[in-house]
């Protein structure tokens, strides 16, 4: 009985991306060999990763629409998750304007900023509210996910406010390790650090 492990789940968004792409091109099936090549991994690994879905057909490959659907189910990409974003600077605006989130079930319902000039602006479908409204709206809408897009100095305070308002998962773009209760999930998006890795590999490869 094939099962999902953490390592597998982490690769599902990547398969999803490729499958959607192939789907757009009108492809109906894809082999583990092909997926493996695009991702630079072994085809056995692909088969193990996708075995739980039971969408593979011998001699033909994986049925793309069925596999897409299965991944959407297991990752919960259909039930839209509403999030609040704090910090409507350029990064916050980039996130608000990014249409790709919709495909992954994320909707940024509202943004917040202390800067009065930013309040009232609308980027994409998202409106910027004054920070003073944060707590009231978060509680009323029972929001669970928060996006921290403020500066380093403000991040911890914003995170505390989110926890206070009942948030359960935080997506942190500030270059800080937030101190939070153990039951709060955090994903740190350390862009600069990720870049540093690329630079490291570049130097090694020469």
Partner DNA sequence: TAGATTGTTAATCGATTAACAATC
Q: Which parts of this chain interact with a copy of itself (CB under 8 A)?
A: 9-10, 12-14, 16-18, 21, 38-39, 74-77, 81, 89-91, 93-95, 97-98, 100-101, 103-106, 123, 144-145, 152, 168-169, 171, 175-177, 183, 185, 187, 189-203, 205-206
Binding part of the chain for DNA, among 38-46, 70-78, 141-149, 158-166 by CB under 7 A, reads 38-46
**Residue 159 Cβ, how far from a copy of itself at the closest point, in Å?**
14
Residue 63 in the binding site for DNA (CB under 7 A): no
Nearer to a copy of itself, 67 or 144 (CB): 144
Determine the straight-line distance between the first and last CA of the chain, rounded to whole angstroms. Answer: 44
11/27 Cα distance (integer angstroms): 21
Q: Give the C-alpha distances (Å, rounded to integers) separating 175 from 45, 84, 154.
A: 34, 19, 11
Nearer to a copy of itself, 32 or 93 (CB): 93
157 in Cβ contact with 87 (< 8 Å): no
Residue among 132, 163, 131 nearest 146 (CA): 163
3/15 Cα distance (integer angstroms): 16
108/97 Cα distance (integer angstroms): 10
Site for DNA in 136-175 (CB under 7 A): none
Q: Which two tokens stand for residue 139?
A: 């509680």
> Which of 13, 37, 60, 157 forms a contact with DNA (CB under 7 A)?
60
Size of the site for DNA (CB under 7 A): 27
Q: Which two tokens stand for residue 10?
A: 């982490």
**Residue 102 Cβ, how far from a copy of itself at the closest point, in Å?**
9
Residues found near DNA in the complex (CB under 7 A): 1-2, 5-8, 31-33, 41-45, 47-48, 50-51, 54-62
């Amino acid at each position: 009985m094939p099962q999902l492990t953490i390592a597998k789940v982490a690769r599902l968004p990547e398969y999803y991306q490729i499958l959607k792409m192939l789907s757009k091109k009108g492809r109906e099936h894809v082999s583990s060999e092909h997926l493996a090549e695009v991702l630079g991994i072994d085809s056995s690994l692909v088969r193990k990763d996708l075995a739980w879905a039971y969408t593979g057909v011998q001699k033909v490959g994986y049925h793309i629409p069925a596999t897409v659907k299965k991944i959407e189910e297991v990752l919960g990409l259909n039930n839209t998750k509403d999030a609040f974003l704090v910090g409507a600077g350029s990064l916050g605006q980039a996130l608000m304007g990014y249409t790709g989130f919709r495909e992954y079930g994320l909707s940024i319902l509202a943004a917040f900023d202390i800067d009065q000039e930013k309040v009232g602006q609308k980027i994409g479908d998202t409106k910027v509210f004054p920070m003073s409204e944060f707590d009231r709206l978060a509680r009323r809408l029972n929001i669970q996910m928060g996006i921290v897009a403020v500066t380093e100095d403000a991040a911890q305070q914003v995170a505390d406010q989110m926890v206070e308002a009942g948030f359960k998962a935080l997506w942190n773009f500030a270059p800080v390790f937030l101190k939070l209760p153990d039951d709060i999930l955090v994903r740190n998006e350390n862009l600069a650090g990720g870049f540093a890795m690329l630079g490291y590999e570049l130097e090694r490869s020469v």
